[in-house]
Each structure stands twice: as C-alpha cells, then as structure tokens.
C-alpha cells in the first residue's frame, strides 16, 4: 500500500504563530512595498510583482520553512521572522525561471494570464511602435526575469539573518541558482541534439525542476538552522525523489490537465515539442511494439513543427495506449515512497516531519 494512502493532501490550515502561509504572504507584500520606485523601468517592477502575486503554490518556500523547522528552527522570534523574509527569495527565483522559460518555450499563457513576453509584444503592437513586436516582447521579458533574479539575492541578504546563518545558507543558494540554469541548458541541448532517452529526460527533470523546487529549498532551510550533515543528507534525498516526482506530475498535468485549472492550454508540452520522461517512455514502448505509425506521430510532436489539434489528440491517446501514463504514475509512486523513507530516517522534529509528508503529498498529487 502507498505510504501516502489516506493522507490529507490539503494545505494545513493556518494555526497560531506557526502559520507560515499567512506570515509569508505578509513578507511578500512587505518586500514589494519596500522596493524603490524606478521611473525609467517601473513597468518591469510592476510585471515582477504581477507574476509573483498572480498565484502559485508557494511550495518552494514552504519546503524551506519546514526544512528549517525540522532541523530545530524555532517558529517564533526575530530569527524566525528573518527566515520568513529570506524565503521571499525563492518566489523571486521562481519568477525568473518562469518568465525566461516561457520565452524559450514560446508559451502564450502563465497562471491564467498572458505570458510576460506576450504581454509586452501586445503592448508594442497596440502602441504601433517600430521594429519587431516579438523581439520587443522577448527582450523585455528577459529583463523582467533578470530583475527578479537580482531581487532574489536582495531578499536573501537584506532579510536580517544572523551573519553565520547567512553564510551557511549561501552555499545551497548558490548551488540552487546554478543547477536551475544548468537544467534549463540541458533541456535546450536535449531538444536541439534530439536526445530521446529516458535517462536524459530524467536528468533534465532532476536539475531543471527537482533541485530548486524541493531539494535545495529543504537544504537552504536546514542550513539556516545549522542542521547536522546526516540530517541535511536525508532531507536532500527526500527532496530529490519528491522533486522528480513533482516534475513527472507536472508532465502529466501539462499533457492532460484542465486549462481552467492549470491556466495553460491542454497539451502545451506537445505543441512546444518538449522531450519529457512521459514522451521517452511512449517512444520506447511504441518502438518495442513495432508500432511505426505511433513512433512517427510521437517524433513529429518532438520535431518542433506546428501541430494540429488532431495530431496532438492522437499523441495523447498513444501515451495512454502504450502504457506511458501508467508507467509514469508508477514511477511517481515509487519515488515518493523512497523519498518518504529517507525522511523517516532523519532525526527531525515530528511535527515538521508530518508537515513535510503533507507537502510531499500535495506536490505529487496536485492537479494544477
């Protein structure tokens, strides 16, 4: 039986001073209210604010907070408040990743609104400016993402953390930023080089998403609390497995999710030609079965050429028919169980362990 069986996957209700969700919302608002006015680039400032506050699951800061609490960090006090402020950096880093990723993937929407590059391209066309609207939109979106990345560092170093805590946190923070960029680069290389292997797709998932979504946020929180090396290693192992499971769930949602819930078009990964583990498994199984027609359809989806809705629908059906969806669901379950087993080996606070189990369930069983 699954280790998640019967577990409540809802976000825990806020309780007393240990309500991270409410405190974090205040910290985000305070951070943006404290930004200086920049007349020459106020539209960039407003766009960063809009992307961050438009929604999102806030999983990264939640994992970091409970990594802090699991490692002995207190819920109350000046240091706890500084930690909450510092974790604003994670949502700003996520903003950078989303905005740049949308440019690279040519995604039209994000969180139910126009992607940043599309928004600025639309303004260019509306104002009838000279030059290419697409180039203007892409260039401005790159600046928006860069500003969010710069502000992420600002949020961490100006949060009021004790100097020794900031020094401990800096290494996982550096690693997180670098791994995120490396994962995005590997994604581009895999697409351009036509790497169709499952191993390659999983490596991209581990670096591009898992590391900065779960593993490194946990590492960051534990480092802030000065956790022992063995605790950090268990939390990171938990984070690696749950993070990859999170990405695999994201692949399924991107392929079959409800646009009204996800805020993105159904089958967006197909139209963007993404080589996901889901696609790698389907290709391998279709090839092994000698289904050349299926292989042709799937390879067309990975070629980057525009797809008709009919072709995309056929490809989604093939993912189910060749057992790729079932295989990914099984892999999500296996990764989640191995991650929770690593968490159980960690000598951490029981309340925090429970919250981390709930967060893991939320991450891998979500529908948006």
Question: Which pLDDT band, with edges at 50, 70 and 90, does 248 fall under?
Answer: very high
Residue 203's domain spans which residues?
16-365
Residue 8 lies inside a defined structural domain of this protein? no
Alpha carbon distance 119, 356 (integer Å): 37
Q: Quote the pLDDT of residue 259.
A: 79
Residue 16 has pLDDT above 70, yes or no: no
Higher pLDDT, 196 or 96: 96
pLDDT digits (tens, 9 = 90+) for 26-56: 999 999 998 877 777 889 999 999 999 987 8
Q: Quote the pLDDT of residue 92.
A: 98
Question: Which pLDDT band, with edges at 50, 70 and 90, does 18 fall under?
Answer: low
In order of 34, 241, 273, the CA distances from 205 in angstroms are 35, 11, 15
Q: What percent of the chain has pLDDT over 90?
A: 75
Residue 55 lies inside a defined structural domain of this protein? yes
Residue 344 sits in a domain whose CATH number is 1.10.600.10
Contacts of 319 (CB under 8 A, 6+ apart): 255, 278, 279, 282, 325
Residue 78 lies inside a defined structural domain of this protein? yes
Alpha-helical runs (H) found in the chain:
20-33, 42-53, 59-70, 78-86, 88-105, 116-126, 133-157, 163-192, 198-205, 216-224, 229-256, 259-262, 268-271, 277-288, 292-301, 309-321, 324-345, 350-365
Q: Specify the number of domains making up the chain.
A: 1
Question: Which pLDDT band, with edges at 50, 70 and 90, does 5 fall under?
Answer: very low
Residue 3 lies inside a defined structural domain of this protein? no
Residue 273 has pLDDT above 90, yes or no: no
Which residues are bridge partners to 109 per DSSP?
Answer: 114
pLDDT digits (tens, 9 = 90+) for 285-341: 999 999 999 999 999 998 878 889 899 999 999 999 999 999 999 999 999 999 999
Residue 2 lies inside a defined structural domain of this protein? no
pLDDT digits (tens, 9 = 90+) for 102-123: 999 888 988 888 999 999 999 9
Residue 7 lies inside a defined structural domain of this protein? no
Rounded average pLDDT over 339-367:
95
Contacts of 356 (CB under 8 A, 6+ apart): 63, 66, 67, 70, 238, 343
Residue 9 lies inside a defined structural domain of this protein? no
Residue 253 lies inside a defined structural domain of this protein? yes
């Amino acid at each position: 039986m699954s280790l998640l069986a019967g577990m409540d996957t809802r976000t825990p209700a806020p309780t007393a001073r240990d309500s991270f969700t409410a405190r974090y919302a205040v910290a985000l608002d305070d951070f943006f209210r404290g930004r200086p006015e920049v007349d020459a680039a106020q539209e960039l400032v407003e766009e960063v604010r809009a992307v961050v506050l438009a929604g999102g699951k806030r999983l990264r800061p939640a994992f970091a907070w409970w990594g802090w609490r699991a490692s002995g960090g207190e819920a109350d006090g000046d240091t706890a408040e500084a930690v909450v402020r510092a974790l604003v950096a994670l949502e700003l880093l996520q903003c950078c990743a989303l905005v740049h990723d949308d440019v690279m993937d040519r995604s039209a929407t994000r969180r139910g609104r126009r992607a940043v590059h599309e928004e600025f391209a639309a303004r260019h066309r509306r104002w009838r400016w000279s030059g290419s609207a697409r180039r203007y939109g892409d260039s401005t979106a790159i600046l928006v993402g860069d500003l969010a990345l710069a502000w992420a560092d600002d949020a961490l170093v100006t949060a009021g953390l004790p100097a020794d805590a900031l020094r401990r946190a800096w290494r996982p923070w550096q690693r997180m930023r670098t791994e995120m960029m490396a994962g995005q680069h590997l994604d581009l290389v895999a697409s351009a080089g036509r790497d169709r292997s499952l191993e390659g797709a999983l490596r991209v998932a581990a670096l591009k998403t898992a590391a900065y979504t779960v593993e490194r946020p946990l590492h960051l929180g534990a480092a802030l609390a000065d956790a022992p090396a063995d605790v950090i290693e268990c939390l990171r192992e938990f984070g690696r497995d749950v993070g990859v499971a999170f990405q695999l769930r994201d692949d399924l949602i991107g392929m079959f999710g409800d646009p009204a819930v996800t805020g993105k078009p159904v089958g967006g990964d197909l139209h963007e030609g993404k080589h996901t583990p889901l696609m790698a498994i389907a290709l391998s199984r279709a090839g092994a079965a000698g289904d050349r027609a299926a292989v042709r359809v799937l390879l067309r989806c990975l070629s980057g050429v525009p797809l008709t809705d009919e072709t995309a629908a056929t490809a989604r059906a093939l993912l189910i028919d060749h057992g790729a969806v079932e295989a990914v669901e099984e892999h999500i379950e296996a990764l989640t169980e191995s991650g929770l087993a690593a968490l159980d080996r960690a000598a951490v606070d029981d309340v925090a362990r429970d919250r981390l189990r709930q967060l893991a369930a939320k991450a891998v069983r979500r529908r948006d």
